[in-house]
């Protein structure tokens, strides 16, 4: 009988008791079957961090008030108790500094999206991986939905012919009222430019949609034109946005996102139109995808092993993610990253399905470009269409 591989040990930064994504990630880590959470710096204050550690039953000696203390002390641990990776669930502005600190301590990183709030940091992170190869992944779960993966393979294989149009929609209504003034921490950081970045719904929802559009079609975004606004009075950042796309093959597209579409809670929807038919998928029906022929004939495809969506009870009052299919996809992403870590240790690098630094840099570029396009005064500019150009990152000598 083969000896069972010990579970890899995970440290979590952020994800405290009041964190929505903390609950989702912990469920995915447990569901992966190959990882266990052993330590963390869980909150923005020491009290919140230690309260979370106590509730989770983690050894108090491995619960920290500050992530730098955690990384400094855990880097000295040797043997079977040593950490294997760091997962980052803190607000957007913390993704980059925690990632770089984890790299300094010698730990692989699995980070929530986006990789950074600004392009200087994103380029520095890319440059760091060129200087000394580091294992890094961002938590885009789309490649780990079996039905969506099957759709992509079919589209790349010519099932809908030449791509003419791509539409991605991500509507949610949980921020349709000012939850941030009622102490909702998940809403609070999303409307704060210091913690979220230069845009709100764009960074939170449109960035993942841009990744989905490029990954599912095999095409790249060449230019974009964005309009967005804070629909709820008193907010500084957009909570509703529409972005026109021009792809590298000339096809046009649309990304429409909203945090204030009351009554919506179904997650992302993907619609691809070619000259031989169309293909459709959505997180609300994540275990299947559909093709439509030119005569309107619809065919539903259900891959084996696809988890059916089972939504949580508070789906209209929380971000998207409390869903069985989402947790299953995130668990597969963690499992894939764990296998990549083990393969690297064995000197046998493997091709990972996780979203690494290069596609994450493309999303950071999309975010920054869209934020420029919706900036005050941009609507009056004759140069509304802005080139989408990922910077070439080279080592500085």
Quick: pLDDT tens for 348-377: 989 999 999 999 999 999 999 999 998 766
Domain count for the chain:
2
- Distance between CA 389 and CA 123 in Å, rounded? 13
Q: CATH no. for residue 228? A: 3.30.360.10
Nearest to 363 by CA among 384, 390, 333: 390
Give residue 349's pLDDT.
85
Give residue 258's pLDDT.
98
Cis peptide before 5 (omega within 30 of 0): no
- Of 320, 343, 375, which residue sits at a domain end? 320
User: Residue 367 domain-assigned?
Assistant: no
Question: Based on the domain organization, do 137 and 215 belong to the same domain?
Answer: no
Question: Based on the domain organization, do 148 and 284 belong to the same domain?
Answer: yes
- Distance between CA 300 and CA 226 in Å, rounded? 33
User: Residue 72 domain-assigned?
Assistant: yes
- Of 293, 320, 347, which residue sits at a domain end? 320
**Phi, psi angles (nearest 5°) of residue 127:** -60, -35
- Domain that residue 128 falls in: 8-141+326-356
- Distance between CA 270 and CA 215 in Å, rounded? 11
User: Residue 375 domain-assigned?
Assistant: no
Question: Based on the domain organization, do 33 and 108 belong to the same domain?
Answer: yes
- Distance between CA 193 and CA 336 in Å, rounded? 33
Nearest to 363 by CA among 190, 224, 231, 260: 224
Nearest to 282 by CA among 294, 292, 272, 295: 272
Q: CATH no. for residue 347? A: 3.40.50.720
User: Residue 271 domain-assigned?
Assistant: yes
User: Residue 32 domain-assigned?
Assistant: yes
What 3 state SS string does 161-194 have?
CCEEEEEEEEECCCCCCCHHHHCCHHHHHHCCHH
The torsion of the CA quartet 213, 216, 222, 228, rounded to 10 degrees, works out to 0
Question: Based on the domain organization, do 175 and 190 belong to the same domain?
Answer: yes
How big is the CA angle at 185 (ends 183 and 188), to the nearest 5 degrees?
A: 85
Question: Based on the domain organization, do 334 and 303 belong to the same domain?
Answer: no
Question: Based on the domain organization, do 60 and 20 belong to the same domain?
Answer: yes
Residue ranges in the chain modelled with pLDDT below 50: 1
Bridge partner list, 268 = 170
Question: Based on the domain organization, do 25 and 117 belong to the same domain?
Answer: yes
Count of residues for the chain? 397
User: Residue 381 domain-assigned?
Assistant: no
Question: Based on the domain organization, do 252 and 342 belong to the same domain?
Answer: no
**Phi, psi angles (nearest 5°) of residue 63:** -110, 130
């Amino acid at each position: 009988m083969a000896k069972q591989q010990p579970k890899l040990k995970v440290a979590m930064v952020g994800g405290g008791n009041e964190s929505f994504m903390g609950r989702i990630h912990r469920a995915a880590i447990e569901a992966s079957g190959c990882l266990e959470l052993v330590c963390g710096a869980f909150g923005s204050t020491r009290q919140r961090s230690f309260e979370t550690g106590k509730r989770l039953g983690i050894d108090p000696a491995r619960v920290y008030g500050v992530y730098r203390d955690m990384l400094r002390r855990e880097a000295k641990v040797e043997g079977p108790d040593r950490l294997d990776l760091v997962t980052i669930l803190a607000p957007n502005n913390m993704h980059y500094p925690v990632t770089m600190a984890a790299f300094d301590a010698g730990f692989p990183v699995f980070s929530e999206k986006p990789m950074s709030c600004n392009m200087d940091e994103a380029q520095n992170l890319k440059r760091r991986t060129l200087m000394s190869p580091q294992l890094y992944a961002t938590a885009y779960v789309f490649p780990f939905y079996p039905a969506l993966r099957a759709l992509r393979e079919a589209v790349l294989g010519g099932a809908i012919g030449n791509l003419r149009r791509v539409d991605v929609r991500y509507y949610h209504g949980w921020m349709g009222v000012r939850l941030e003034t009622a102490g909702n921490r998940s809403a609070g950081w999303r409307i704060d430019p210091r913690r979220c970045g230069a845009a709100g719904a764009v960074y939170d929802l449109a960035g993942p949609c841009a990744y989905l559009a490029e990954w599912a079609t095999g095409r790249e975004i060449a230019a974009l034109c964005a309009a967005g606004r804070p629909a709820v009075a008193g907010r500084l950042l957009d909570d509703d946005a529409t972005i026109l796309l021009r792809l590298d093959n000339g096809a046009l597209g649309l990304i429409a996102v909203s945090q204030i579409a009351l009554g919506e809670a179904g997650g992302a929807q993907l619609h691809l139109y070619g000259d031989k038919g169309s293909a459709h998928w959505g997180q609300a029906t994540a275990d299947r995808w559909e093709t439509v022929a030119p005569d309107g004939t619809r065919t539903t495809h259900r891959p084996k092993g696809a988890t059916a969506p089972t939504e949580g009870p508070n789906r209209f009052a929380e971000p998207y993610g409390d869903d069985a299919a989402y947790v299953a996809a995130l668990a597969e992403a963690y499992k894939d990253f764990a296998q990549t870590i083990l393969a690297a240790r064995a000197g046998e690098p493997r091709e990972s399905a996780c979203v690494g630094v290069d596609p994450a840099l493309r999303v950071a570029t999309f975010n920054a470009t869209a934020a420029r396009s919706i900036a005050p005064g941009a609507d009056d500019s004759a140069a509304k269409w802005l080139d989408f150009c990922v910077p070439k990152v080279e080592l500085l000598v």
